[in-house]
Amino acid sequence: MTLVAGVDSSTQSCKIVIRDAETGALVREGRAAHPEGTEVHPDAWWTALNAAIEQAGGLDDVAALGVGAQQHGMVCLDEDGRVVRPALLWNDTRSAGAARDLIGELGGPEKWADAVGSVPVASFTVTKLRWLAEHEPDNAARTRAVCLPHDWLTWKLAGAPGLDGLRTDRGDASGTGYWSPATGAYRPDLLELAFGRVPVLPEVLEPAGEAGRHGGVRLAAGTGDNMAAALGVGAQPGDVVVSIGTSGTAFAVAETPSADPSGLVAGFADATGRYLPLVCTLNAARVLDAAARMLGVSLDELGELALAAPAGAGGLALVPYLEGERTPNLPDATGSLHGLRLDNATPGHLARAAIEGLLCHLADAFDALGLAPERVLLIGGGARSEAVRRIAPTVFGRPVVVPQPGEYVADGAARQAAWLLSGTPEPPVWTSAGARHYEAEVTPGVRERYAAARDREYPPAS
Ligand SMILES: Nc1ncnc2c1ncn2[C@@H]1O[C@H](COP(=O)(O)OP(=O)(O)O)[C@@H](O)[C@H]1O
Ligand SMILES: O=C(CO)[C@@H](O)[C@H](O)COP(=O)(O)O
């Protein structure tokens, strides 16, 4: 049996799966936690990756490995390949002002959408580089190369072979704000604009390209976590995927590049040579963590409380902007609870309002894609909750399919590794079993009450 490994180095943890390259059958797995915070030293990811690999029984019998990781994080390296400062992650909002400045300096959001398929917000690497140049000029001056979390981990696995050994892929490159999915090329002019000069950048590999070797293990190109998830669930044009991880994302595989000047939809590339229009929220699964903490219950108990409460939470509406928000672009926003009365002031109503509020927020993201699929594929840590799965169709207004529970990002990275081995034009097909289907009537008034609460706090820009 030939084995492949897939890594998901996401915001909260590192997971690895080891699978049969031919059938996709799971053989072993491991995981380790990442530190809290929106600024993390990449060494912590390396430590977690090695712990996860050890827990999964090592890589001695593995033929190829792919790394999927959180998108956008800014990893700066000096001329000797040392990390200059802790990485600023996708959910660090300190570069929101830099994003506004850069949009103005290029001549408006349309110019950015035309140039790179996306209008930058604080998440995008290009805005973090501007922040670094302005606020930490010494660190900026020491920076010789800039790469992303998956690029850096792949490079470390390859033995850190010098700055010109850095590799990335189309998917992750498309989240930098200085690589164009439409042309497949870097935009050095945008780096000049943001950073004042062009540092060394990773070479962008083809989807089934090889990034190097880790001993006898061939290293796949790797990709961003959302692109890996799309590959992991086998998303095809026509499918819409909603992921409830630390971030909330709604995305679809597309045959042509997109460019949304409103900035709601990021026009990313995917991991198969296609495109991945995507809407991303800062707030998702951690809304469940926060609600459980407020109620002093476990995540399972939160779900039980919510399912026992009336649909619509007796008019209670929670707007879940707990970490600020990215879509809509409100980096300084806070969350809020509306419609509180004596009769709905119960743990069950609050649990239900938290789940419905989170799902209404994701439904807004989903709507922004402008697609009308027959069903939604629901994935990510939050989709492990039976309550989330059962309430989702009552908010989304369409059936929800939860693929066989698994580590979809790591699975996609493993499938990419199998693709590297097969050398076929398309990734190998792995049959997955056991998807669960959820259907339910829409709960009247939930989205309307949520929208009223949301707009009362943060009126939409006219
Ligand atoms: N059984 C569960 N019920 C509800 N939420 C869960 C459950 N298991 C995990 N989660 C949620 O999953 C989140 C982590 O999701 P994950 O997709 O692994 O995040 P990331 O990939 O961003 O690190 C946690 O914040 C937690 O709230
Ligand atoms: O910024 C984005 C997408 O643009 C996020 O989706 C990150 O890629 C982090 O993902 P998770 O850790 O939440 O999976």
CA of 18 to the centre of ligand 2 (A): 23
Domain with residues 3-221, CATH architecture: 2-Layer Sandwich (3.30)
Angle at alpha carbon of residue 419, lines to 223 and 177, rounded to 5°: 20
| Joined tokens for residue 446 | 């939930």
Closest CA to 10 of 44, 59, 54: 44
- Per-residue pLDDT tens for 294-337? 999 999 999 999 999 999 999 999 999 999 999 999 999 999 99
Name the one residue in this structure whose structure tokens are 């209404």.
360
Q: How far apart are CA 222 and CA 229, in angstroms?
A: 12
Q: Is the pLDDT of residue 161 over 70?
A: yes
- Whether this prediction's pTM lies above 0.90 is answered by yes
Question: How confident is the prediction for the chain on average, in pLDDT?
Answer: 97
pLDDT at residue 405 tops 90: no
Pocket lining for ligand 2, CB < 6 angstroms:
10-11, 70-72, 90, 123, 175, 224-226, 245-247, 249, 266, 280
- Look up 61 and say whether it is catalytic: no
Q: Where are the domains of the chain?
A: 3-221, 234-398+432-461
Asked if domains 3-221 and 234-398+432-461 share a fold, the reply is yes
Q: What is the pLDDT of residues 17-44, one digit of tens each?
A: 999 999 999 999 999 999 999 999 999 9
Return the residue matching tokens 């790394």: 67
CATH superfamily name and code, 234-398+432-461: ATPase, nucleotide binding domain (3.30.420.40)
Tens digit of each residue's pLDDT (9 = 90 or more) over 64-108: 999 999 999 999 999 999 999 999 999 999 999 999 999 999 999
Q: How many CA atoms lie within 13 A of 245 on its CB side?
A: 25
pLDDT tens for each residue of 346-373: 999 999 999 999 999 999 999 999 998 9
- Quick one: angle between helices 188-195 and 96-106, nearest 10? 120
Nearest CA residue ID for atom 22, ligand 1:
246
The pair of three-digit structure tokens given for residue 230, joined into one six-digit string: 């799309």
Pocket test residue of 7, 92, 247 for ligand 2, highest count of atoms within 8 A of CB: 247
Tokens describing residue 239: 């499918």
What is the predicted pLDDT for the residue at 434? 82
Given the residues 225, 239, 270, 411, the one annotated as active site: 225
Over range 399-428, report the average pLDDT. Answer: 94
How high is the pLDDT of residue 462? Answer: 62
Please give the Cα distance from 59 to 54 (Å, whole number). Answer: 8
- Pair 191, 144: CB distance under 8 Å: no
User: Of all helices (H) and strands (E), which one includes residue 33?
Assistant: strand 26-33
Handedness of CA 351, 353, 356, 360 (dihedral sign): negative
Rounded Cα distance between 47 and 30, Å, is 13
**What is the atom index within ligand 2 of the atom nearest the CA of 284?**
13
**Residues 201-249 pLDDT 10s:** 999 999 999 999 999 999 999 999 999 999 999 998 888 999 999 999 9
In this prediction, residues 51-55 reach a mean pLDDT of 98
- Per the rule left: phi > 0, alpha: psi between -120 and 50, beta: everything else, 57 is left
Atom of ligand 1 nearest to the CA of 286: 25
Cβ atoms of 27 and 20 closer than 8 Å: yes
Is residue 150 within 8 Å of residue 73, measured between CB atoms? no
Distance 307 CA to ligand 1 centre (A): 19
CA distances from 105 to 113, 180, 193, 359, 462 (A): 14, 18, 8, 36, 22
- Is 10's pLDDT higher than 90? yes
* Residue 316 CB less than 6 A away from ligand 1: no
| Coil/strand/helix, residue 378 | strand
Question: Which has the closest alpha carbon to 321: 354, 273, 363?
Answer: 354
